[in-house]
């Protein structure tokens, strides 16, 4: 949760949600390009996958080949994800 002061007397509370982006075949698997999660606390990589698989069980077939990115950088296996993060599931890509 983030508090924003518009002037000296008025404060607003902004509720942030984690945005998770899906690309390529993962869009087909999930049926959407993105989803928002509202975790109560930070999530480990494993906890994030658990939450995603609850909503999208078919992602499990792709998990071994998907890289996670957090705020436009590849995420380390021990990364923590918060409600302020943008997460992307990056499937394998090929080029030529």
Percent of the residues in the chain that have a pLDDT greater than 70, as a whole number: 81
DSSP one-letter string for the chain: -EEEESSSS-EEEE---EEEEE-THHHHHHTSSEEEE--SS-EEHHHHHHHHHHH-GGGGGTGGGPEEEETTEEPPTT-EE-TT-EEEEE------
- Nearest-angstrom CA–CA distance, 15 and 96: 43
Q: Is 85 exposed, middle or buried (0-12, 13-18, 19+ CB in 10 A)?
A: buried
Q: Where do the structural domains in the chain lie, given as residue ranges?
A: 2-6+16-90
Residues 8-21 pLDDT 10s = 555 555 557 899 99
Q: What is the pLDDT of residue 81?
A: 97
pLDDT per position as a tens digit, 62-91: 999 999 999 999 999 999 999 999 999 999
Res 5: pLDDT: 40
Domain spanning 2-6+16-90 has what CATH number? 3.10.20.30
Task: Provide the pLDDT for residue 93.
Answer: 82
- The per-residue pLDDT of the chain, averaged, comes to 86
Q: How far apart are CA 25 and CA 23, in angstroms?
A: 6
- Quick check: 1 pLDDT over 50? no
Amino acid 17: pLDDT? 87
């Amino acid at each position: 949760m983030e508090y924003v002061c518009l002037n000296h007397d008025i404060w607003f509370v902004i509720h942030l949600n984690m945005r998770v982006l899906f690309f390529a075949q993962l869009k087909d698997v999930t049926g959407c390009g993105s989803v928002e999660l509202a975790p109560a606390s930070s999530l480990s990589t494993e906890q994030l996958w658990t939450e995603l698989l609850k909503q999208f069980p078919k992602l499990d077939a792709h998990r071994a080949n998907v890289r996670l990115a957090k705020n436009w950088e590849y995420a380390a296996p021990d990364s923590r994800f918060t409600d302020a993060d943008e997460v992307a599931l990056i499937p394998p890509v090929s080029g030529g």
